[in-house]
Each structure stands twice: as C-alpha cells, then as structure tokens.
Amino acid sequence: IHIKIFHFSDNIEVHRTANQVKKDVGDVTILINNAGIVTGKPFLQCSENELLKTMAVNVYSHFWTLKNFLPAMVQRNHGHIVTISSLAGLIGASGLVDYCTSKFANVGFAESLGLELMKDNKDGIDTTIVCPHLIHTGMFEGFTNRFDMLFPTLSPEYAASRIVKAVLTNQRLLVMPRTGYLITAVRVLLPVAAVKRLTKFIGGLECMDGFVGRQKMK
C-alpha cells in the first residue's frame, strides 16, 4: 500500500508529481485528499483571487488527484479514497462563506463519486468522508467556541488515529467529535429559522471575529 499526500491546486503540477509517484512506487491504493486553506474574512471582504484560490486548493485539487489515481483503482477494483472535509462542510458559519462552500463541495464530491463507483460495481474501492471540528494546527488561530466541552479542539494525533481506524474499518463518514453527528442531524430535522437560532446560540455568528490564522514564524 502506498500513501502519498498532496497539497497542490495546480493541475499541471499534480499530473507531473503523480506521474513521478507512479514511476517510483507504482499505483496508489490509498489516496488521502487533505488540501485546505482559509481566508477567515467576511464574504464581501474577500477578493476575487482569494475566492478562486480557496476553491482551487480546497476543491479542484481533489479533482486532479482523482483524475490521476482513480483509473488504476478502477482497473483493479481496489483502493480507498479519503476526503478530508470539515464540520464546516455539514453546517455553515459566519465568516467562513468561501471555506464552508468548499467543504460542502468536498462532501458532495465524495458522496457522488461513491455512488458512481457503486453504479459501476466497483465494490473494491472504498470511500471515507472525514468531517472534523477544529484540529490544533494553528490554521484557525483566534477561532472562538462557546461550548468547548461539546466541540473541543482536536489534537492532530487524535484526528489521525481516528482517520486511520475509519480507513481500516471502511467507515463511510467520520465526524469528529461525535457531538458533530448530533448537530448535523438536528440541522436536517429542524426548520431553517430554528437552525439559525441554534447556530446563533452556539456562537456560530461570532466564532471568527477574533480570527488571526496561522502566524508566520519570525
């Protein structure tokens, strides 16, 4: 099993690197798409270039890696595709319009791809969608959470171990922490007005007010 991690949005660079990987180590059987950036700005404060970059890194990069590695999986009917989305791909938040858009797209992409593989009887190719709350990497530095007990910041080690377990057990959807399953179920069941009030109550309107993001080392 070969595992390779990509963070590219440039399709030409992805194609070049993918060809080198296939030449050096052979066909990839586990693909983990984990590209992600965040502007942390209200929508009208985001430049067009920032919006395009968010979609290029967070969404289009998934297209390019799958275009390169999925054909071999299909041919052999063997493989596993892991799509790292976010809890922000299941429920929206103020100050994260572009980010939530891209992460919702990740979920739709992975779900639809899984259905295409099912239609083609490629039952040897498994898919896992991962939707974590904040992971302590510095990417969302300044993000505030009104209910830390319900939605704690996850350590990278914990998140990685849960993802590995999900792959080994062919888990289709992994939401971290587990309270995330509840909030997404409530979102579907409640009226839109009630969801908005709930989002306000849990701090979804002000959560990005203190955002500073990952700070460059001096």
pLDDT tens for 39-69 read 999 999 999 999 999 999 999 999 999 999 9
Give the contacts of 117 (CB within 8 A, at least 6 positions apart).
74, 123, 125, 127
Long-range contacts of 150-155 (CB under 8 A, 24+ apart): 150/177, 150/179, 150/202, 151/87, 151/177, 151/179, 151/180, 151/202, 152/177
pTM for the whole structure: 0.88
Do 100 and 93 contact (CB within 8 A), yes or no?
yes
pLDDT at residue 115, as a whole number: 96
pLDDT at residue 166, as a whole number: 96
Q: What region, left, alpha or beta, does residue 215 occupy, with left being phi > 0 and alpha being psi -120 to 50 degrees?
A: beta
Q: Which of 60, 99, 158, 181 is catalytic?
A: 99
The structure tokens 């179920």 sit at 185
pLDDT tens for 169-195 read 999 999 999 999 988 888 888 898 988
pLDDT above 60 for 125:
yes
User: Does the annotation count 181 as an active-site position?
Assistant: no
